[in-house]
Amino acid sequence: MRIMRILAFESSCDENSAAVLQDGKLLSVCTRTQTVHKPYGGVVPELAGRSHLELIDGLANEALHEADIRLSDLDFIAATIGPGLIGSLLVGANYARGLAISLNKPFRGIHHLEAHLWSAELSHGNLPLPFLVLLASGGHTMLISVEGVRRYRVLGSTLDDALGEAYDKIGKLMGLSFPAGADVDRLASQGDGHRFTFPLAMQDDTFNFSFSGLKTSVVYKLRDLPPEIVRSSKNDILASFQEAAIESVIRKVRLAAQRTAPQVLVAAGGVAANSLLRKRIYDLAESMGIPCAFPALSHCGDNAAMIGYLAWKLNRCGIADSAWSHQARPRWPVETLTEGTQAQ
């Protein structure tokens, strides 16, 4: 069988990434997290786009050098085209498409949330179907049953804030820098998660999530506590917030797993790097007698390795590319990815 080498790019938000894969195996990945947004407490789209423009050529060359692959060795180019920030998407997609044209190689546009669905296979190989994915990435928190390539059933999603957004907002209230997820996780691990009681949202029989009420409850708690108690109890407050957030998620994952009987439980996306979430998913899977799988920590956030892997998988499965998949799409629902369906 002919060897397939792919150069892939990810630029949907504030991660700059390029990767080289050969037959679905990762040869190199070079990722830079933009720090320019820290003073603003969130991603500034204009600054994100400029950063991608400054870094993308150097990252491509670095990834090729680490993989010991020349441009002429490549078989095709792939890049994230959605969903995400339109300026950032255009930088990555246009650079990749221009490179493909100059090399007379095919270009493939990739949905970066779909790439997250398959990212655990980079570390674990082919997962048995169907598998259930808790996808927590950026502004998305979703439960998706993966029944095959381009066969996805969205069971539920967040009705307001995503889990990662809640972490960032609570982190900001507690004086942490953006993005706050890793710092919340680290400090919470040093605190008492049962000292303060916060509500568990959406305790119904649907698979949807809600985190705005939890966020508001923490705000009220910080308002009502004396400032000296807030300062001395920082780790306990964060631990109690995290306990409520993760427990509400696990209850939904358990319900979905009971109803869909997956072969594997998967957590993917940036929040899947959270240590408590990984432990609770592992414990849940063990209690239900099914395996679980996580992407490597370096593959949880947005990265080009998963983009290249999905491009390879789609090609191997014979799923044809089409003209509409070359357009940058800031909004692109996962539900439109059913094979044969085009995004509107």
Residue 342 has pLDDT above 60, yes or no: no
Q: Indicate if 154 and 261 belong to the same structural domain.
A: yes
Q: How confident is the model at residue 2 (pLDDT cuts 50, 70, 90)?
A: confident
Q: Indicate if 149 and 184 belong to the same structural domain.
A: yes
Q: Indicate if 217 and 265 belong to the same structural domain.
A: yes
Q: Which pLDDT score, from 0 to 100, does residue 343 have?
A: 35
Whole-Å CA distances, 201 to 116, 244, 302: 25, 9, 27
What single-letter amino acid sits at 155?
L
Q: Which pLDDT score, from 0 to 100, does residue 1 have?
A: 60
Q: Indicate if 217 and 148 belong to the same structural domain.
A: yes
Q: Indicate if 171 and 215 belong to the same structural domain.
A: yes
Contact 326, 97 (CB under 8 A): yes
Q: Indicate if 323 and 262 belong to the same structural domain.
A: no
Residue 11: give its domain's CATH number: 3.30.420.40
Question: What's the distance, Cα to Cα, between the start and end of the chain in Å?
Answer: 36
Residue 258 class from Cβ within 10 Å (0-12 exposed, 13-18 middle, 19+ buried)? exposed
What are 200's two structure tokens?
């568990």
Structural domain for 36, as ranges? 5-117+300-337
Q: Which of 9, 79, 84, 97 shows the shortest CA–CA distance to 45?
A: 84
Q: Indicate if 189 and 308 belong to the same structural domain.
A: no
Q: How far apart are CA 18 and CA 20, in angstroms?
A: 7
The answer to whether residue 342 sits within a structural domain is no
Q: Indicate if 62 and 182 belong to the same structural domain.
A: no
The answer to whether residue 223 sits within a structural domain is yes
Average pLDDT along the chain: 94
In this structure, what is the dihedral angle of CA atoms 87, 89, 95, 101, given to the nearest 10 degrees? -120
Residue 340 has pLDDT above 60, yes or no: no
Q: Indicate if 290 and 305 belong to the same structural domain.
A: no
Q: How far apart are CA 303 and CA 148, in angstroms?
A: 22
Residue 129 has pLDDT above 90, yes or no: yes
Looking at the 3D structure of the chain, how many domains does it have?
Answer: 2
Q: Indicate if 97 and 48 belong to the same structural domain.
A: yes
Bridge partner list, 268: 135
The answer to whether residue 344 sits within a structural domain is no
Q: Which pLDDT score, from 0 to 100, does residue 320 have?
A: 79
Residue 212 class from Cβ within 10 Å (0-12 exposed, 13-18 middle, 19+ buried)? middle
Whole-Å CA distances, 316 to 54, 82, 84, 238: 33, 22, 26, 45
pLDDT digits (tens, 9 = 90+) for 214-263: 999 999 999 999 999 999 999 999 999 999 999 999 999 999 999 999 99
